[in-house]
Amino acid sequence: MKRLNIPGYVWPIIGIIGLLNYIPTFYCPEFLNAFYFDYKLIIIVLCLLTLVVLTIFALKRKSGVIVLGLYVTVLLFSKQIRAIENKLVIEFNNGKDVSEFSTPILGYKLERPNKANQNVNDIAFDALFKFNEAFGTYQALVFKEDHGLTMESFDEDYSLYKVYNKDWWWYRKGD
């Protein structure tokens, strides 16, 4: 079986492309943000499979194994990373008017209320940063000024995941 000679810089490039939605960018064109939101799962899986296949067939596997290990580690801790990123989005938009809100993280889709959105999302909000959307379910970081929510107010309702402060909370929409 013939082995491939993969240059050392290819491994981190594939890893970064696959995990770019976990890396704060602070500026990204809207089309790139929308692309990562719509195809996040495909990008992550495709890059993971590419890393696995290249590692199997590579001549020098050490770099591939290291990047693959880091890649899988990030995926395993993605829930904790999302919690940190949510705090980053909150701090990034702290003190801004809702019309000026933006996201420093790729793959967070910003929605503002209108009659169509309110019916689709089933919650009242001033701004909604959707992420982790798949198969009709999603998670979102919600901004609603003075929402008045507490974890006890959602007793046995698993849509409220975390209350950050009086204006921000983490919402999980399931079917």
State yes or no: pLDDT of 77 exceeds 90. yes
Angle between helices 30-57 and 62-76 (to 10 degrees): 130
Residue 43: pLDDT band (50, 70, 90) is very high
- The amino acid that residue 40 corresponds to is K
User: Exposure string (b/e) for 40-77, b if CB count within 10 Å is 16 or more?
Assistant: beebbeebbeebeebbeebeebebbeebbeebeebeee
Place of tokens 């492309």: 17
Least confident segment among 45-59, 108-122, 126-140: 108-122
Least confident segment among 49-58, 91-100, 119-128, 139-148: 119-128
Map out the domains of the chain as residue ranges.
10-76, 96-173
